[in-house]
Amino acid sequence: MLDELLATAAVVGTAGVVYVAAAARVVKQYERGVVLRLGRLRGGIRPPGFTMIIPGVDRLRKVNMQIVTMPVPAQDGITRDNVTVRVDAVIYFKVVDAADAVIQVEDYRFAVSQMAQTSLRSIIGKSDLDDLLSNREKLNQGLELMIDSPAMGWGVQIDRVEIKDVSLPETMKRSMARQAEADRERRARIINADAELQASKKLAEAAGVMSEQPAALQLRLLQTVVAVAAEKNSTLVLPFPVELLRFLERAQTQPGAPTVEQIPARPRPDEHRGDGHRDDEFVLDEPKGDKFRRDEAEDDEFPLDNPGASPLPGPD
């Protein structure tokens, strides 16, 4: 009798151990347990720690509640300004309702991935190339809203979406490089022009100061000569003295000094007037007596071959 009791106790104990081993479950801290009893949700969500289920009747599904980082495959598309681009992204999401993540969707990871790809292609078609390159924050927010709306029904919350890379065709890259180079050249020219304007203003101020102080101009001239001579040149060219130019200018502007317009042009000696006399005979308004005496002296020095001929040609 005693042996039978011991054997029965051993069998019951063994069965109990087997039952506990089959019914015991451990839910980790970052997980939640969803129990389906005979295919129906029963008992709510099991918290982290040790829990028991009915073997053969209950089925425990563990759902990871951590944030999941999922890369979105690169998508080809045409922007609103007809540029072919290839864009990839990354999405961060987590499960906030374990029961919906198990019941409402077969595979919430695959569903989120497909929704992210379609939303990314839609964003590419609605955006310009400049927006994809420079206004990514706004596009990221748009993607997050597009994916988060259906994902909430799956018990999934989209934490954020980031566009990783925008690939352009080689021709577009070269065009953008030329555009950037032209823009940099334009800015450089503007900066140079502004610098020249400021330098010209300073030079004008310096010229005004030097014009009031002639000694400063002479000192500047000597400094320039010293700087040129320090370069070990074999030839040194000195500028024309400014003081001499000013002296000539003052002498020209004095009262009674002849000007260029007042000095008559002297004709060439070999040119003759219409009356047969040379033009150099009529340079000055001489008295008639002196004029005839000078003519007689020239006749004595150069006698005519025919004494009877008249020195003045007759009319034709």
Higher-scoring residue by pLDDT: 296, 71: 71
Instruction: Determine whether 154 is exposed, middle or buried from the number of CB atoms within 10 Å of its CB (0-12, 13-18, 19+).
Output: buried
Q: Which of 24, 23, 26, 20 is nearest to 48 (CA)?
A: 26
Mean pLDDT confidence for 67-75: 91
- Is the pLDDT assigned to residue 243 strictly greater than 50? yes
Structure tokens at 16: 């109990």
Task: Tell me the pTM.
Answer: 0.54
Instruction: Give just the sign of the alpha carbon dihedral 172, 175, 180, 183.
Output: negative
Contact 72, 10 (CB under 8 A): no
Class in CATH terms, 68-168: alpha beta
pLDDT band at 158 (very low <50, low <70, confident <90, very high): very high
Distance, in Å, from the CA atom of 105 to the CA atom of 155, rounded to the nearest integer, reads: 9
Three-state secondary structure readout of the chain: CHHHHHHHHHHHHHHHHHHHHHHEEEECCCEEEEEEECCEEEEEEECCEEEECCCCCEEEEEEECCCEEEEEEEEEEECCCCCEEEEEEEEEEEECCHHHHHHCCCCHHHHHHHHHHHHHHHHHHHCCHHHHHHCHHHHHHHHHHHHHHHHHHHCEEEEEEEEEEEECCHHHHHHHHHHHHHHHHHHHHHHHHHHHHHHHHHHHHHHHHHHHCHHHHHHHHHHHHHHHHCCCCCCCCCCCCHHHHHHHHHHHHCCCCCCCCCCCCCCCCCCECCCCCEHHHHCCCCCHHHHHHHHHHHHHHCCCCCCCCCCCCCCC
Mean pLDDT confidence for 93-103: 91
pLDDT above 90 as % of the chain:
16
Integer-rounded Cα Rg, in Å, for the chain is: 55
Distance, in Å, from the CA atom of 219 to the CA atom of 258, rounded to the nearest integer, reads: 34
- Of the listed ranges 46-50, 98-102, 166-170, 298-302, the least confidently predicted one is 298-302
- Is the pLDDT assigned to residue 109 strictly greater than 70? yes
Whole-Å CA distances, 45 to 51, 52, 105, 204, 305: 11, 13, 17, 86, 151
pLDDT band at 246 (very low <50, low <70, confident <90, very high): low
For the stretch 111-142, pLDDT in tens is: 999 999 999 999 998 888 888 888 888 889 98
The whole-chain average pLDDT of the chain stands at 76
* pLDDT value of residue 207: 76
